[in-house]
Structure 1
């Protein structure tokens, strides 16, 4: 495999791909055609040098991903909102429009992002701690408690993914997620970006966000084994305060995994790849076409193959 530098995510009936400062969102519209929107985005690490330092860049890279993800989702959702446009705005929407005016959409996006982060912290970091504390009267070992909390955290995550995957829209999004991975794997294994080649490529990839979340959960176990606090408020505080540190370490491992093909790194990456079985599904050819359209808008894959796989291009 050769590292391509491209990455992306699935959106509503589409795929977003990013390469450097450029990203493109391709969406299969209700009429069957593919709409592609290409834009530029300068990451926080490029704007502020400190944000690009090892162990620091992971947090800001995650923030960049959320911002880009919300933009891509908003664009993809715009093709499926005809019914909502005919409805009378709610009192809350009128209130927000009065306060924020033309900036209402950005304000709503920011509110959704903040709410999502707070809920994720509460559900996946704080709740497992409280559930694990129920067994504290029976378990005296701090190490065992940290492992138990981590197992509960992973269990909640798996249950959440299983639950949302029952929704038809989420199932299709997971299929587009598979198309995204297959396109990247196709290129990074030296194959031309055709529907047939993409279809035959793997739907698991080491740089996936699902792997990142699992790595965060595993590394959090190691951190909380070492850090011992007795009172509930301090334990809650430690779970929140250490999130940037844990995310930073997790990002460095994921970054290494995406660029390395060593047996050790591949072995350590396997749990994350297994977890992707929950969040990626096999796409159909029409979804693969959308993924290809997104890649081609921001990435010269022919030049990439000529440079990195000349023996296959001759």
Structure 2
């Protein structure tokens, strides 16, 4: 029986893609002159180096943080190459601003996809029942997520990134099928991949609804109701990596 190819993944960046295998990370970006610039380096996940982190769910949580770190680095480099920034000219102020932007984006995401659904669900009658509460909050979260993804596709720059996103999926399908990594092999493949980040987000939203529904039922039974939507967010926030890990296990 033929050996199964290693699992590969990646993400779209500005004018290119980043691809990651179990042993290496590579980013290819088209510069303003049309030349494809490549940056590659060895990479071994912590889950391969630390035995405890190989456990189900934990490996998914670690993988998520690694993917975010690698992805942000690839995105930053692609911005330099694609002409968004002057390569090599980023000082500590630029890095501080980038970190602040990431923190603000994270806070905005928590506000939109956690605090808002909880606040709205709390206004609906009969949501003292945690099953009803999370059906309302979870349904609203999924609607917000789908609406957000639909809205950003209206931006021209985002549509360009999504084209590379589809190309990444086609390349992965060709690789997993044992086909040559050439345009003629990749183009006929589907641009929708089951391990896509979009699938991950939607699955995580569903698992969040189910998992926190069970958790909150126990909490309310033993400790009483939550004081506010913010209180509920603060209780749930540390558990999000476990939800991400569970979503990873379902998709892998």
TM class, shorter-chain normalised?
0.7 to 0.9
Aligned match of 2:245 in 244, 248, 254? 248
Taking a change above 3 Å as real, the CA distance of residues 119 and 33 of structure 1, as seen in their structure-2 partners, is: same
1: CA distance, partners of 2:245 / 2:190 = 27
2: CA distance, partners of 1:32 / 1:170 = 19
RMSD, aligned CA: 2.5
The count of residues paired between Structure 1 and Structure 2 equals 239
Question: Would the aligned equivalents of 1:70 and 1:109 in 2 still touch at CA under 8 Å?
Answer: no
Aligned match of 1:158 in 114, 127, 146? 146
Aligned match of 1:20 in 7, 17, 22? 22
Question: Would the aligned equivalents of 2:126 and 2:132 in 1 still touch at CA under 8 Å?
Answer: no
Aligned match of 1:127 in 116, 122, 141? 116
Whether 2:67 is the aligned partner of 1:65: answer yes
Whether 2:224 is the aligned partner of 1:236: answer no
Q: CA deviation at 1:215?
A: 1.0
Q: Larger relative CO (CA 8 A, sep 6+): 1 or 2?
A: 1
Alignment TM-score, normalising by the size of structure 1 = 0.69
1: CA distance, partners of 2:22 / 2:174 = 19
Deviations 1:30-53 (A, max 9, x none): 112211111233433345443332
Whether 2:142 is the aligned partner of 1:145: answer no
2: CA distance, partners of 1:44 / 1:112 = 27
Q: CA deviation at 1:209?
A: 1.4
Taking a change above 3 Å as real, the CA distance of residues 140 and 115 of structure 1, as seen in their structure-2 partners, is: closer
Q: How does 1:36-115 map to 2 (within 5 A)?
A: 36-81=38-83, 103-115=92-104
* Helix, strand or coil at the partner of 1:178: helix
1: CA distance, partners of 2:140 / 2:179 = 41
Taking a change above 3 Å as real, the CA distance of residues 42 and 105 of structure 1, as seen in their structure-2 partners, is: farther
Whether 2:183 is the aligned partner of 1:183: answer no
1: CA distance, partners of 2:33 / 2:201 = 36
1: CA distance, partners of 2:108 / 2:50 = 28
Whether 2:211 is the aligned partner of 1:223: answer yes
The residue aligned with 1:194 is 182
Question: Would the aligned equivalents of 2:6 and 2:22 in 1 still touch at CA under 8 Å?
Answer: no
Whether 2:201 is the aligned partner of 1:213: answer yes
2: CA distance, partners of 1:190 / 1:46 = 25
Alignment TM-score, normalising by the size of structure 2 = 0.85
What stretches of structure 1 of length at least 5 have no aligned partner?
90-96, 256-314
Whether 2:161 is the aligned partner of 1:173: answer yes
Greater per-residue helix proportion: 1
Question: Would the aligned equivalents of 1:66 and 1:113 in 2 still touch at CA under 8 Å?
Answer: no
Whether 2:115 is the aligned partner of 1:117: answer no
Deviations 1:8-49 (A, max 9, x none): 110001011111231111111211221111123343334544
